[in-house]
Amino acid sequence: MRRGCPWVAALPLVLLATPALAAPALPAVTVQGADGAQTYSLSLQIVALMTALTLLPSLLLAMTAFTRIIIVLAVLRQALGMPQTPPNQVLLGLALFLTLFIMAPVFQEVYTRGLEPYLNDRMGLEQAVETGVEPLKGFMLAQTREQDIQLFLEMRGDPAPQTPAAVPLPVLVAAFMTSELKTAFQIGFVIFIPFLIIDLVVASVLMAMGMMMLSPMLVSLPFKLLLFVLVDGWVLLLGTLASSFSTAGGVTG
């Protein structure tokens, strides 16, 4: 597990390895038997672990490449004129595994710098969290626009940090989400243009032929699918999405 997917096991292992969470327990179930009542307790460690697992989807959306990818895929589906194809499950699965592919070096660095020293008792929990979050901050800083960070700093009333690494994490996450939405819409606009041109051409031809009762969307759909297949659209789109994420540690302009 440590070598294969350490980023998946990181949060549960931290909670399971924390001595402070192992001792206290809450009474959960009382079973009445012939020998009397037996009370089964629920460890606070398990409660904390279950609570942390509920936050994983939010962390996936707020701190990884998932948001940009799923928005671009949804725009592509709309541009093709097939709102239900591919289905949502396929798009979500594709976006999830592409996110893991893009984020794998970052997660590996989080494990190497933070989780592994903590599990080997070479680093305290607070220091491990502080060190382990630095690769994630570096990834988000590389995708975030400076004006978005400045906006949220002004909203909090905080002074401008001396270095990009000193940006508070709540400010960085909010600015990162805003930047990702803007970038996803920009990519979606570029994707939409060729299919929109096909729709306009087909609609103009049908109107010139007097076939106004025939839906232009129905006629243009095969041509859009043909164009997408001829240019090897899935490989081109996924490759472009993967390469659109900067690995530098600075703030974008």
Digit-coded pLDDT (tens) for 195-247 = 989 888 888 888 888 777 777 788 888 888 888 888 888 888 888 888 888 75
**The pTM is what?**
0.72
The pLDDT of residue 34 is 52
Could you give the C-alpha distances from 151 to 84, 146, 159, 162, 189, in angstroms and in order?
Answer: 37, 9, 11, 16, 25
Mean pLDDT of the chain: 76
More confident residue, 71 or 4: 71
The pLDDT of residue 210 is 78
Q: How confident is the model at residue 133 (pLDDT cuts 50, 70, 90)?
A: confident
Measure the CA–CA gap between 211 and 129, rounded to whole angstroms: 65
Q: How confident is the model at residue 9 (pLDDT cuts 50, 70, 90)?
A: very low
Cα 19 from chain centre? 31
Measure the CA–CA gap between 227 and 77, rounded to whole angstroms: 14
Please give the average per-residue pLDDT across 184-196, as a whole number: 90
Looking at residue 102, its amino acid is: I
pLDDT tops 50 at residue 10: no
pLDDT tops 80 at residue 76: yes
Q: Which of 86, 105, 108 is nearest to 237 (CA)?
A: 86
The pLDDT of residue 48 is 63
The pLDDT of residue 19 is 43
CB atoms within 10 A of CB 222: 10
Q: Which residues pair with 37 in a beta bridge?
A: 32
Please give the average per-residue pLDDT across 49-68, as a whole number: 78
The pLDDT of residue 55 is 74
The pLDDT of residue 72 is 92
pLDDT tops 50 at residue 142: yes
The pLDDT of residue 251 is 54
Lowest mean pLDDT among 44-48, 93-97, 143-147, 171-175: 44-48
pLDDT tops 60 at residue 106: yes
- Three-state DSSP at 252 gives strand
The pLDDT of residue 136 is 85
Q: What is the pLDDT of residues 203-214, one digit of tens each?
A: 888 888 877 777
Measure the CA–CA gap between 14 and 12, rounded to whole angstroms: 5
Burial group, residue 111, by CB count within 10 angstroms (0-12, 13-18, 19+): buried
Q: C-alpha angle 73/77/83, rounded to 5°?
A: 130
pLDDT tops 50 at residue 145: yes
The pLDDT of residue 73 is 92
**Tokens for 9?**
């096991």
Please give the average per-residue pLDDT across 51-61, as a whole number: 74
